[in-house]
């Protein structure tokens, strides 16, 4: 579904990605783990066209997208839930969700999806008229994921959804990610520092170290790998 070939990207003058190649198939959860500053977020920003790659190619469902503008890439069905949630603080919860459905015109479908989301996260339903900035960190993460879902993405890119959340909420967020994948057959690319949790729900994984892919395997094998255990699982 998504194919990244020999990607080189620069972020603020730094050669952040050095020949990164990865591949995702339809319906998979694939995780990308690695330390801070390894280039995980830059990988996602390059796929979305915010940090256009200097060299290399990205194909989405066979179509080259590495020269496209972010709004065109979004229109193809690639949605990112970025690091730090980036909720529109002065928009209400409902308006934030509306922004997720920015390019859609089917009013009935939008309403249906909003109901689906309010079932998924009843907390958001209670707060639908509240401003995004007044929500707690966990609620903001729920809203950020929901806003991404409002566009009915084919590929959902999640950047550190567990960052800064209490353990109970981390559990809830990961369960929801799994649910979204199973119920909607949405392909998910999950970038995480919480390697333990993300490898448990993913099918396959990539390990990134200073801008290069260091390891790639099934999630089960990565969980068992001595190298991953030592470096990322704290065992």
Partner 1 sequence: MDYFLELFFGGLTRGSIYALIALGYTMVYGIIQLINFAHGEIYMIGAFTALVVASALSLLGMNGLSLLMLSGVIAMIYSAAYGFTMEKIAYKPLRDAQRLSPLISAIGMSIFLQNYVLLAQTSDFVSFPALIEEFPFMESVTIMRSSELVIVVTTAVATTLLTLFIKFTRMGKAMRAVAQDKTMAMLLGVNVNRVISATFIIGSALAAVGGVLISSHIGQINFYIGFIAGIKAFTAAVLGGIGSIPGAVIGGLVLGWTESFATGYVSSDYEDVFAFGLLVFILIFRPAGILGKTTSEKV
Interaction between residue 80 and partner 1 (CB under 8 A): yes
Give the C-alpha separation, 70 to 65, whole Å. Answer: 10
Interaction between residue 103 and partner 1 (CB under 8 A): yes
- Binder among 27, 52, 56, 70 for partner 1 (CB under 8 A): 70
Interaction between residue 152 and partner 1 (CB under 8 A): no
Interaction between residue 90 and partner 1 (CB under 8 A): yes
Q: How far is the CB of 50 from partner 1 (least distance, A)?
A: 6
Interaction between residue 151 and partner 1 (CB under 8 A): yes
Interaction between residue 82 and partner 1 (CB under 8 A): yes
- Greatest Cα pair distance, the chain, in angstroms, is 51
Closer residue to partner 1 in complex, CB, 84/122: 84
- Binder among 102, 115, 122, 209 for partner 1 (CB under 8 A): 102
Q: How far is the CB of 81 from partner 1 (least distance, A)?
A: 9
Residue written as token pair 């639908």: 128
CA–CA distances in Å: residue 211 to residues 57, 190, 206: 16, 17, 12
Closer residue to partner 1 in complex, CB, 100/138: 100
Interaction between residue 220 and partner 1 (CB under 8 A): no
Which residues from 35-54 bind partner 1, rule CB under 8 A? 48, 50
Whether 34 and 222 have beta carbons less than 8 Å apart is answered as no
- Binder among 98, 123, 131, 220 for partner 1 (CB under 8 A): 98
Residue written as token pair 């209400």: 92
Q: Residues touching partner 1: how many (CB under 8 A)?
A: 23
Q: How far is the CB of 168 from partner 1 (least distance, A)?
A: 27
* Residues in touch with partner 1 (CB under 8 A): 48, 50, 69-71, 74-75, 79-80, 82, 86, 88-91, 95, 98-100, 102-103, 147, 151
């Amino acid at each position: 579904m998504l194919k990244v070939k020999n990607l080189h990207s620069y972020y603020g003058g730094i050669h952040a990605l050095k020949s990164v190649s990865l591949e995702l198939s339809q319906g998979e959860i694939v995780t990308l783990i690695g330390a801070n500053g390894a280039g995980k977020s830059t990988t996602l920003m390059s796929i979305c066209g915010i940090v256009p790659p200097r060299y290399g190619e990205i194909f989405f469902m066979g179509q080259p997208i590495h020269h496209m503008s972010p709004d065109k890439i979004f229109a193809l069905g690639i949605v990112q839930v970025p690091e730090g949630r980036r909720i529109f603080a002065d928009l209400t919860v409902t308006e934030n969700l509306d922004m997720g459905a920015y390019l859609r015109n089917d009013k009935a479908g939008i309403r249906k999806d909003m109901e689906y989301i309010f079932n998924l996260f009843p907390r958001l339903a209670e707060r639908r008229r509240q401003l995004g900035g007044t929500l707690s960190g966990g609620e903001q993460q729920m809203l950020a994921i929901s806003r991404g879902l409002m566009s009915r993405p084919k590929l959902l890119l999640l950047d550190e959804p567990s960052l800064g959340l209490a353990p109970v909420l981390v559990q809830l967020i990961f369960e929801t990610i799994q649910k979204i994948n199973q119920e909607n057959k949405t392909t998910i690319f999950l970038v995480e520092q919480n390697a333990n949790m993300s490898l448990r729900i993913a099918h396959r994984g990539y390990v990134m170290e200073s801008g290069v892919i260091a390891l790639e395997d099934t999630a089960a094998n990565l969980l068992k790998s001595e190298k991953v255990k030592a470096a990322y699982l704290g065992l």
